[in-house]
Homo-oligomer: A and B are copies of this chain.
């Protein structure tokens, strides 16, 4: 089973992101707007219990924080992903670090650049066009984050919620 760990930002920000994702993100229908803490990794069914236990420990170590989401950028030329920048707060870095050490699969494809994807799989021309237009706009969202979610992927690529983990010593 493929698992992933994400933060879902506020409804306001999700609605805003979806207005763009609808047109530019081929994964629009597979998962709501999210900030990935740990990208898709394989786990066996009988590992779920341990993974949940480990995630609870991770959540307990990080206190709730404020996340700042800002202007549009892109991973070009690595790939044509367009995203809202997410500020590298210490808690985000800590969460990402804890989710790639100890029990968890540690390999990463890229260094951790927190982001909220709004476009992907665009042609080079479309990517340049969309990025050029969105870069001129000002975006700024600040919001509290007090939880993250463990999701699993269905055969068709869509993601389903498995469990919520509340941040902080008093979280779970």
Contacts and interface: CB of A to CB of B under 8 A. Distances in A.
A89 interface: no
B154 A18 contact: yes
Interface residues of A, number: 24
Interface string A11-39: 10011001000100000011010000000
Contacts of A30: 29
A128 interface: no
Interface of A: 1, 8, 11, 14-15, 18, 22, 29-30, 32, 147, 149, 151-152, 154-156, 158-164
26 contacts: A1-B11, A8-B160, A8-B161, A11-B154, A11-B160, A14-B154, A14-B160, A15-B154, A15-B155, A15-B156, A18-B154, A18-B155, A18-B156, A18-B158, A29-B29, A32-B154, A32-B158, A32-B159, A32-B160, A147-B163, A151-B161, A161-B161, A161-B164, A162-B164, A163-B164, A164-B164
